[in-house]
Structure 1
Amino acid sequence: MPPQDAFEKARQLFLDGLQAFQAQRYAAAEQLFQSSLALLPGRVSTLINLAATQVKLGRPQDALAAAEQVLAIEPGHADAWFHKATALSQLGHHQAALAGYEEVLKIGTLPAAEPWCRHGQTLQALDQPERALASYDRALAADPKLAQAWSNRGGILREMHRHEEAAEAFRQALAHGADAELHRYYLASVSPQPLPPTAPAQYVETLFDDYADDFDAHLVDVLGYRAHSTLVGHLAGLNRGPYKSALDMGCGTGLCAPLLKPMTRRLAGVDLSSLMLEKARALHLYDELAHADIVAHLRQTDARHDLVVSADVFIYVGDLDPVFAALEAVMEPGGLFCFSAECASSERPDFELLPSLRYAHSERYLRALAERRGFDWLRLVRAPIREDQRSSIPGLYVYLQRR
């Protein structure tokens, strides 16, 4: 192909790649940029956009290689440093990512708000919340409408128990276009607001997908989590088994499975997090696993169970009536339903949303709900669920029988 024709073809492929990127068709954009580079190797503008695309595709190693090619040609290219830092962050190399964002800020040719926001996120990943807060303040000084910076700022202030400041940050995030359902949930945890009935499904799914690899070790070894063993231990003390079919509702990685399996002929599990379910599946203890919201699963399944167990799930569900109502169709008469819940601060509310972003329930509410939905109250055990900042979190372990 003559050089001029090759240039024009590469240029058109590049422009088509930009269009695909803007339309969020990232796989197509990557192919177009790579085809352009095959005709015009080493072209900086194409490499930069290729790196940005590969970051969007969640392929940080490839993005890093593209950014490094640019930096070999132009060592002070701010966009290349930005994409390099973002790729390093995706790879978990947070200290190197931090240095990359600082290089972007030092070069100073890009608008400062986004690099400062990423700088703050990286500091949070390095467990440096005070410094992260200062970075978000710098981001907002550059762009007061940056919703992500307001949201992240609010999250840090919430964890610092600076609730009024956190509430204002979440209000600002909402005002500037942040996810409304999620930020109303955040706001309700730190200020008097109408309580959402449950945590947003996307929040729960993302939280546990991100947490899946370290979940068991962190929860059990670091936080002293024992809801699963306490719940199933007292269940065994009722001497009601063996069961025909048990449902582990919100099974997570399957912490309950080794304890439940000896009690039942068949063990099923359901959870909202696909990555948690992969861990549960690897145990080879469940006969069936479903990736679904628990209420949706209960409403759709044809299975019938004489045991339903839910350990540390209702911290993400405030209004439990839909759960209890859906159980009516799947539980055998005489079957047992047992679950844990965090204790509300008093018996006045049915449930409350704590600054920890967890729901807590009153015993009064749970007793009334059980009675209304056709369950007999067998036993209540009060015992800790886990540790939080070296303090025990009080829990309610409830054992009900379907009428």
Structure 2
Amino acid sequence: MMKPARGDHAVHRQRMTPAASSIVTRRPGGGVEADPAQAMGIALAWHREGRLDAAEAIYRNLLDHGLRDANVLHFLGVLTHQRGRAREALALMRDSLALDPTVADWHSNIGNVLLETGQLDAAAAAYRQALALRPDHPAFHNNLGVLLREQNRPEEAERAYLRAVELAPDYSDAYSNCASLYQALGRGEDSLRMFWQALLHSPRHSRSRRLLGLALFNLGRLEEAAAVYRQWLEDEPGNVQARHHLAACGGAEVPERAADGYVEEVFDGFANSFDAKLALLHYRAPELVAGQVAACLGEPRAALDILDAGCGTGLCGPLLAPYARHLEGVDLSAGMLAKAEPRQVYHRLVKAELTAFLQESEPASRDLIVSADTLCYFGRLAPVFAAAQATLRPGGWLIFTLEAVDPALHAQGAGPEGFVLNPHGRYSHDGAAVRRDLEGAGLEPVTFDSVHLREENARPVLGWLVAARRH
């Protein structure tokens, strides 16, 4: 999801409302009194430094001592959102605005949370209120542009982005967002121009580098795309995204699966907005998988040991729970697992790489393994299929989705490997090769259906919905 400027959530306001200055609080442990403004300053400093536990303790201590201050409420809301508790964050931030509705940044912050949770109309109202208070704030125009694009209002989004860069000619985030909009509209050259502007002002702007390479790839300019990623990798030799996308452009050897660091980095950054973004893409994989589970297993009886392989934020969890005696989720992204846990449908959640986790599992210990859009980060499937087969009981099921090779991107097909790495960073697979790997692992492909997984750039993403059974 395109995010508003990161600075919009920056902890930078330290003003206490007048009522706060005359109140003192007793520190935990007793004995020493502290001025609340001083305590708030410490909390803000620790918040900026990422010491969230310590900052939260001070914010809550101030509230516990009767200091119902707008600043305390707001920044505790920001921190709570950083911890993935959006509903609680919104309540705190709304309470802060009820006490002080004059702070434009706070309206923008609550707009960001509303946008990330898919509450688009409410987010629009928040951004417009921020602009009513500070009409010349470039970040607010950029944020409104992101919102308008999500609402499928591209002309208005373009105007918002252009106003942002008019107010701040070095605003790389706004250039990058506008470039991404142009790319989605098929305005390839305009998109490149804006990406280059973003990089002119922020030469190491990672998002612009990644999307510029993708834009060049989509225009058939593979060597230029590879050059962008190669330069990125030279500047940041350990950057897993640069290495992965360079391989997708043919500039490096294609790995057999995405590196753990790449997957963690992408999905940790995506966790807060994941569910809302996929809803806008008409994402269907969880429902497709759940439908296939019902077709294969019949009525749910809460009797099965089930693994949600690559569970992400837990979208499949509520759909699988009626079948489960024991429901386990595994994922590489700690951020995604933090979103899955509050659903309270999993008996166990584990942060691990999938193949290694399966290989370390007790043999013949599961009745069903499901994987919705996780294996698209694997090229070579034989190892993960073999590991899944070993942990299934005889007659157990592996039900999963994959992306199919798109002839528009790969006219020559998947080649002898049976898979290709696409410029967006995911793998797609040849159906015949998938069948071969399943059978080689001792799994019988019972159903193998072509499906529409979601939409990207107004085009359907086609894939496979597969149900395979252990012999």
TM-score range with shorter-chain normalisation?
0.5 to 0.7
- Of 392, 415, 418, which residue of structure 2 is paired with 1:331? 392
Contact 1:383 1:395 in 2 (8 A): yes
**Contact 1:189–1:355 under 8 Å retained in 2:** yes
Aligned residue number for residue 5 of structure 1: none
The reply to whether residue 305 of structure 1 matches residue 366 of structure 2 is yes
Aligned to 2:195: 133
- CA positional deviation for 1:202: 2.0
CA shift, 1:159, in A, is 3.5
**TM alignment of 1:187-206, pairs within 5 A:** 187-191=246-250, 193-206=252-265
Among residues 212, 236, 249, which one is paired with 1:156 in the alignment?
A: 212
CA gap of 1:347–1:133, structure 2 versus 1, over 3 A, is closer
The 1:54/1:267 distance shift into structure 2, 3 A limit, reads: closer
Alignment equivalent of 1:317, drawn from 360, 378, 382: 378
1:376 CA displacement: 1.3
> Are 1:120 and 1:136, in contact at CA under 8 Å, matched by a contact in 2?
yes
2:447 touches 2:467 (CA, 8 Å); kept in 1? Answer: yes
CA offsets 1:73-116 (integer angstroms, 9 cap, x no match): xxxxxxxxxxxxxxx99x979934999999999xxxxxxxxxx6
Q: Which residue of 2 aligns with 1:351?
A: 419
In structure 2, relative to structure 1, the CA distance for the partners of 1:100 and 1:368 (3 Å cut) is closer
Aligned partner letter, 1:152: S
Aligned residue number for residue 263 of structure 1: 323
In structure 2, C-alpha distance between the alignment counterparts of 1:244 and 1:137, rounded to whole Å: 52
Contact 1:311–1:339 under 8 Å retained in 2: yes
The corresponding residue for 1:72 is none
Matched AA of 1:373: A
C-alpha change, 1:320 and 1:95, in structure 2 (3 Å) is farther
- 1:155–1:166: 8 Å Cα contact kept in structure 2? no
Aligned residue in 1 for 2:86: none
Max radius of gyration: which structure? 1
Task: Please give the root-mean-square deviation of Cα atoms over the aligned residues, in Å.
Answer: 3.6
CA distance in 1, matches of 2:341, 2:50: 27
Q: Per-residue deviation at 1:388?
A: 1.1
The answer as to 2:423 corresponding to 1:365 is no
Structure 2: state its 5+ residue gaps: 1-43, 56-70, 76-107, 113-126, 128-136, 143-162, 183-190, 407-412
Question: What percent of counterpart residues are identical?
Answer: 31
Deviation at 1:313, TM superposition (A): 0.6
Counterpart AA for 2:209: R
**SS of residue matched to 2:297:** coil
Opposite residue 434 of structure 2, the aligned amino acid is: L
Question: Hey, what's the Cα distance between the residues in 1 that align with 2:235 and 2:255?
Answer: 21
Q: Give the distance between the partners of 1:284 and 1:297, measured in 2 at CA.
A: 22
Q: Write out per-residue CA displacement over residues 187-232 of structure 1, whole angstroms, 9 at most, x where no aligned residue.
A: 1222364211112222222222222222112102x10110111122
Q: Which runs of 5+ in 1 are unaligned?
A: 1-50, 66-87, 106-115, 141-145
Per-residue CA deviations over 1:219-253 (Å, capped at 9, x if unaligned) read 02x10110111122022112356552010000111
Q: Counterparts of 2:457 and 2:196 in 1: how far apart (Å)? A: 24
Question: Aligned to 1:251, what secondary structure does the other structure show?
Answer: coil
Count of residue pairs the alignment pairs up: 310
Tell me: CA distance 1:128–1:341, structure 2 relative to 1, closer, same or farther (3 Å). closer
Name which of 89, 95, 107 aligns with 2:138. 95
1:391 pairs, out of 459, 463, 470, with 459
Aligned partners of 1:101 and 1:392: how far apart in 2?
Answer: 32
Whether the 8 Å contact between 2:138 and 2:168 is mirrored in structure 1 is no
Secondary structure of the structure 2 residue equivalent to 1:237: helix
Whole-Å Cα distance in 2 between the matches of residues 236 and 399 of structure 1? 11
Q: Secondary structure at the match of 1:203?
A: helix
The DSSP-based 3-state class of the residue aligned with 2:229 is helix
**Aligned AA (2:458):** R
Instruction: Name the counterpart of 2:345.
Output: 285
- What amino acid maps onto 1:344 in structure 2? V
Q: 1:213 aligns with which of 255, 272, 275?
A: 272
Distance 1:191 1:52, change over 3 A: farther
